[in-house]
């Protein structure tokens, strides 16, 4: 449920409400808007719901108490009407700007990463991506460089100034990945790995949560809820296509998820047209479509020599293709921002 504090509520009154909630064995999560404070109450109230709501409603400083109608609570727009904006390095994800994450699927060696990092930085990427711990379908495929890959990413950040995003596959890797990366990526295959979600929820770095291969929007938001309820409010959602009966594309990009999520949640949304299509020649149009639909950014795979890539070469853009696409993304973004009517 939501406890909406009066505009004039004092800090003592806010703390009084929090204490009351905790005394009841529930958890209080605060959302401080520009006008007033909203306190989300989570926990199992069961049959006590009416009683708990009644007690909260009469506490000093409380304006209204309402149930949250959705199963996801802290990630819902109801709890936090304003967009979440996440500080990453000197930049921000969400809040009206356009985030462009680019880099190789896997970090293969120093030369490949630095060439890619230099290239995408020069063409306007705002965040560098690269996989060090790789979730591969086959145990015989390249599994990533592990910690050595993380060190190379940190070196690429020093060199280009770009913050880095990289995947973490299990709870025991969270500390080492968080020590190197600016954003922890939870991959599609791990979207419902609850111990991992809780572990990144305790980390002090933003998390980018990719949509599961066959996850509904609600399951995805419930996964985000695990992270936020574990203490980490900085979650970025990444639509990367879902599995359908279609086989021409690797996955089916759910573009409608972008405006839908904007309505349901305050979290920023990124689209990954590389994994969504699996085909290099489809990436550009889907990236532009994502920005036109109102996404906060995109993530694309880029490789200096895609045909030699150790993973996902077929869907990786060349440096030249990325350099051609980047200014067009900015153009569409500026165009969409200037449109009248309902915001997208």
Residues within the interface to ligand PEP (CB under 6 A): 105, 131, 135, 167, 187-189, 210, 240, 275
Which one of ligand PEP, Mn ion, none interacts with residue 303, CB within 5 to 8 A by kind? Answer: none
Q: Is 185 helix (H, G, I), strand (E, B) or coil?
A: strand
| Minimum CB distance to Mn ion smaller for 75 or for 251 | 251
| Minimum CB distance to ligand PEP smaller for 41 or for 217 | 217
Q: Which two tokens stand for residue 179?
A: 């020590």
Minimum distance, C-beta of residue 191 to ligand PEP, in the bound complex (Å): 8
Cα–Cα dist 133/142, whole Å: 10
108 near Mn ion, rule: CB under 5 A: no
User: Comparing C-alpha atoms, which of 277, 275, 290 is closest to residue 344?
Assistant: 290
Among 113, 312, 329, 333, binds Mn ion (CB under 5 A): 312
Cα–Cα dist 302/300, whole Å: 6
Minimum distance, C-beta of residue 144 to Mn ion, in the bound complex (Å): 11
97 CB neighbour count, 10 Å cutoff? 16
Cα–Cα dist 150/153, whole Å: 5
Minimum distance, C-beta of residue 210 to ligand PEP, in the bound complex (Å): 4
296 CB neighbour count, 10 Å cutoff? 29
Size of the site for Mn ion (CB under 5 A): 2
Cα–Cα dist 293/145, whole Å: 36
Cα–Cα dist 246/250, whole Å: 8
Which one of Mn ion, ligand PEP, none interacts with residue 210, CB within 5 to 8 A by kind? Answer: ligand PEP
The residue with its CB nearest to Mn ion is: 105
Given CA atoms 102, 212, 83, 164 in this order, what sign does their dihedral have? Answer: negative
221 near Mn ion, rule: CB under 5 A: no
Minimum distance, C-beta of residue 312 to ligand PEP, in the bound complex (Å): 7
Which one of ligand PEP, Mn ion, none interacts with residue 306, CB within 5 to 8 A by kind? Answer: none
| Minimum CB distance to Mn ion smaller for 131 or for 297 | 131
Minimum distance, C-beta of residue 170 to ligand PEP, in the bound complex (Å): 14
3 within 8 A of 39, measured Cβ to Cβ: yes
**List of residues contacting Mn ion (CB under 5 A):** 105, 312
């Amino acid at each position: 449920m939501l406890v909406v504090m009066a505009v004039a509520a004092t800090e003592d009154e806010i703390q009084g409400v929090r204490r009351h909630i905790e005394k009841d064995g529930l958890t209080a999560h605060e959302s401080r808007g520009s006008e007033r404070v909203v306190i989300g109450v989570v926990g199992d109230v069961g049959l006590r719901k009416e009683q708990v709501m009644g007690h909260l409603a009469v506490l000093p400083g409380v304006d209204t108490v309402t149930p949250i109608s959705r199963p996801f609570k802290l990630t819902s727009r109801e709890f936090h009407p304003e967009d979440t904006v996440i500080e990453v390095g000197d930049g921000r994800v969400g809040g009206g700007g356009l985030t462009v994450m680019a880099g190789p699927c896997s970090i293969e060696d120093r030369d490949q990463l630095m060439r890619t990092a230099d290239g995408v930085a020069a063409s306007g990427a705002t965040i560098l991506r690269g996989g060090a711990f790789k979730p591969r379908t086959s145990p015989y495929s390249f599994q990533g460089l592990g910690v050595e890959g993380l060190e190379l990413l940190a070196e690429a950040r020093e060199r280009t100034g770009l913050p880095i995003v990289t995947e973490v596959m299990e709870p025991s890797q969270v500390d080492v990945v968080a020590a190197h990366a600016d954003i922890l990526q939870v991959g599609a295959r791990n979207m419902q790995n609850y111990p991992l979600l809780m572990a990144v929820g305790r980390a002090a770095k933003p998390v980018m949560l990719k949509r599961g291969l066959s996850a509904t929007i609600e399951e995805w938001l419930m996964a985000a809820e695990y992270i936020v309820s574990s203490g980490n409010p900085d979650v970025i959602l990444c639509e990367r296509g879902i599995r359908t009966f279609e086989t021409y594309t690797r996955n089916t990009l759910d573009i409608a998820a972008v405006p839908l999520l904007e309505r349901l949640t305050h979290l920023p949304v990124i689209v990954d047209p590389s994994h969504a299509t699996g085909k290099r020649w489809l990436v550009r149009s889907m990236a532009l479509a994502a920005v036109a639909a109102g996404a906060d950014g995109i993530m694309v795979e880029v490789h200096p020599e895609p045909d030699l890539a150790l993973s996902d070469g077929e869907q990786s853009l060349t440096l030249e293709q990325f350099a051609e696409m980047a200014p067009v993304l900015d153009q569409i973004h500026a165009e969409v921002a200037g449109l009248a009517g309902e915001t997208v």
